[in-house]
Structure 1
């Protein structure tokens, strides 16, 4: 068996392992979905009438809530990766000659799948609340691709953070910036309604172009500039997370 075939086979095994952990701990998925739904109910049902965004507020807020769903689901991955590192699981895998890359890939893939499933649920809830996108088939395909890309990129970054943390609690705290950044973006109100200083931060932080691209894809008016910026940010997250994760893994495992 070639090295590539061995790595793929080991990755599949790690993926099944992490999938079993997820199914045996449904609270992880439930929490990742429940919090964004609660936020949707609060912002749309309670505060939505007070925001003048030019469209129905559910249409404006849903893309931001999708990105928030992705970021909120990262905490469980950081803790799981850190548990594998600090509790000796990875050392046991090393004695079994399991591909090192497969251990990381398994966490990345299952996190990406979990985020995509959570986003699908959020979209279903949004439709139930009156979400009325004007996206074409190509727009929906682009939105799905962007959701997957953001999930994949954030997964590599959070895996690296989980590996670098000394404790599970520290790993959980490492995910806080990813969870908070969508709140400091154009997820819930346009950036141009914000004060000086805050507006500039919102405009140049990574999640704003991602949210604006997703909003454009779903509402039929995606900006090429935002789309390019979003893809560049995702590529940067992926490369940074991958290099950081592999480097940390080699030093600690």
Structure 2
């Protein structure tokens, strides 16, 4: 087989598994619906219930939307971990191993479907935020920068979720393993300024990966000072992507070779 044929076969495998994962997402309407509904409920809760009591120096809906966007990706990533775990534990991977399909295509399909779900969820959240009073002052370049950073973050988190799905022994344990993806934004600057937190939490909030991503997106969309947050966010997301893809690939090969 020539190199060109090998690349063509690999692309075909990936496209096939992406199509399969997207079809599975369409069938699991309840999971997709919940992953879109929960961030909307959280945004409504913070904007309408808590927002009046939280002083961020600006209109609270403008402050909280970037955090909700990252929270949305956490819900999407959690569903990716469960989808991968379902494949790993129901015999689907064993059936695929009997076919001439490259192993990495399976995980790539799940990640691509996760990115598609998150894109739809993010669009819905932004539209709902605009209806709630969100007023970004970003120009075309800032929107491109914000979307690009969110896309890099989503891909990195989706690969990490895929790795967790590979090692999970059941769909339920995959959900439990991915819990930190949902919890970590609450220990960031997503909902309140870090300086208002207790002293022992402030270093954790400032130096964890979620905070610089949120602050960079907030800067792009609402014009707050960017500082070093852009480069720090890119470093975190790029490093997490390299780590996650490597980890997922190694774990998948190890588990499917047994």
TM, length-normalised to structure 1: 0.97
Structure 1 stretches lacking a partner, 5+ long: none
The corresponding residue for 1:99 is 102
Map 1:198-213 → 2, pairs under 5 A? 198-213=201-216
- Kept in 2, the 8 Å contact 1:153–1:241? The answer is yes
The corresponding residue for 1:238 is 241
SS for the counterpart of 2:52 is helix
- Kept in 1, the 8 Å contact 2:78–2:181? The answer is no
Q: Distance in 2 between matches of 1:204 and 1:242?
A: 23
SS for the counterpart of 1:73 is helix
Q: Distance in 2 between matches of 1:189 and 1:224?
A: 19
Structure 2 stretches lacking a partner, 5+ long: none
The corresponding residue for 2:167 is 164
Q: Distance in 1 between matches of 2:183 and 2:204?
A: 13
Runs of 4+ in 1 over 3 A off after TM superposition: none
- The number of aligned residues is 253
The corresponding residue for 1:132 is 135
Which of 59, 64, 79 is equivalent to 1:61?
A: 64
Q: Mean alpha-carbon deviation: is it higher for 213-222 or for 65-74?
A: 213-222
The corresponding residue for 2:83 is 80
The corresponding residue for 1:50 is 53
Q: Mean alpha-carbon deviation: is it higher for 113-122 or for 1-10?
A: 1-10
The corresponding residue for 1:188 is 191
TM, length-normalised to structure 2: 0.96
Shift of residue 220, structure 1, vs aligned partner? 2.4
Q: 1:159-201: CA deviations, max 9, x gaps?
A: 0011011221111111101110001110011111111111111
Q: 1:27 to 1:189 in 2, by over 3 A?
A: same
Map 1:210-229 → 2, pairs under 5 A? 210-221=213-224, 223-229=226-232
- Kept in 2, the 8 Å contact 1:156–1:238? The answer is yes
Q: Distance in 1 between matches of 2:73 and 2:209?
A: 14
Q: Distance in 2 between matches of 1:241 and 1:86?
A: 21
The corresponding residue for 1:122 is 125
Q: Distance in 1 between matches of 2:60 and 2:224?
A: 17
Shift of residue 224, structure 1, vs aligned partner? 4.5
Q: Distance in 1 between matches of 2:25 and 2:75?
A: 16
- Kept in 2, the 8 Å contact 1:134–1:219? The answer is yes
Q: 1:222 to 1:72 in 2, by over 3 A?
A: farther
Q: Mean alpha-carbon deviation: is it higher for 189-198 or for 62-71?
A: 189-198
Shift of residue 222, structure 1, vs aligned partner? 5.2
- Kept in 1, the 8 Å contact 2:216–2:229? The answer is yes
The corresponding residue for 1:41 is 44
Q: Distance in 1 between matches of 2:103 and 2:57?
A: 50
Shift of residue 80, structure 1, vs aligned partner? 0.8
- Kept in 1, the 8 Å contact 2:190–2:214? The answer is yes
The corresponding residue for 2:147 is 144
